[in-house]
Amino acid sequence: MEIRPVGTDAAALASYEALFRACFPGAGHLNAAYLQWLYARNPAGTVIGCDAWEGERLAAHYVCVPAQAVVNGRAMRTMLSLNTATHPDFQGKGLFTRLADATYQLGAQAGIGAVYGVANANSTPGFLRKLGFALVRPLDARVGFGRIERAAPVAAADGFRRDWSQAALEWRIANPQRAYRLVRAGDGTIGAEAATGKPGLLAWDELALPAGMPSPARSPAWAMRLHLGLRPGGGRPQGLWFEIPQRLRPSPLNMIFRPLAEGVAVPAADSVRLGQLDFDAF
């Protein structure tokens, strides 16, 4: 079995699309057009990851997406653990662990300070036991109306937050499979909303307006909002919001974090600012 860095050319993306099709028959969004946007167009850099090849067969694949962030008051390059797949013919051979270890080595060599992710209940234990991640905190899941915070984000209080530039944000909301639109939210904050596939329910996130970026002219749509994420101290919602009971969540989600550079610490559980835009829930 040969371990190689991932590619972003047409042939590589076609091989990844075929692997995803074999592993996840219902995930039609993982096509070459989506992968080209995600893997090659990100202003923060192309994906970092590794593939396992058995001769001419792609056995397994794992990538992390570079992202600028602030961790415990320090600006740094991080990466989001995202796409992984092992062909059914090669499962049970420990390939994901090998690919993850190789990927984190590449990330550290490229100046990445930490890797973070959002894992479901089934995959979280493997990340913690085998890959050296720490559990930061289970994500909040809320539905309601209004804003998820009464005031503009306070950056100094954040142990972790994505540091969105205008270019990076414009790339992010242009996801060819589920585009967001930016709307006014006030107080130096903008909202981002996207369809969830359920009538009358929009995915909703809020973030600080990037420096130099004009405030959106659009008004928010009148609909119930769904927010998945974390806010420092649990946040201070404005409006009418309800926490979704655990028994009604299809798969509870957890934020996980692993330092890759010296001096980087796991952020405190009540100091994280995370939303759908930051981990690709929609």
What does the pLDDT look like over 153-194, one tens digit per residue? 555 558 999 999 999 999 999 999 888 999 988 778 899 999
pLDDT of residue 178: 84
For the residues 235-261, what does the mean pLDDT come to?
A: 85
**Sheet order of strands, 238-243 included:** 181-186, 189-195, 201-208, 224-229, 140-147, 238-243
For the residues 226-244, what does the mean pLDDT come to?
A: 85
For the residues 31-50, what does the mean pLDDT come to?
A: 95
Question: How does residue 220 score in pLDDT terms, banded at 50, 70 and 90?
Answer: confident
More confident: 135 or 239:
135
pTM of the entire predicted model: 0.92
Closest CA relative to residue 67, chosen from 50, 85, 84, 48:
48
pLDDT of residue 65: 97
**φ and ψ of 173, to 5 deg:** -75, -10
Which of 63-72, 206-215, 243-252 shows the highest mean pLDDT? 63-72
Q: Which amino acid is at 175?
A: N
| 63-to-12, 13, 73, 126, 162 alpha-carbon distances in Å | 13, 12, 26, 17, 19
Question: How does residue 1 score in pLDDT terms, banded at 50, 70 and 90?
Answer: confident
pLDDT of residue 155: 57
pLDDT of residue 126: 92
Question: How does residue 152 score in pLDDT terms, banded at 50, 70 and 90?
Answer: low
Mean pLDDT computed over every residue of the chain: 91
For the residues 217-227, what does the mean pLDDT come to?
A: 89
Closest CA relative to residue 189, chosen from 78, 277, 71:
277
SS3 at position 111: coil
For the residues 126-155, what does the mean pLDDT come to?
A: 86
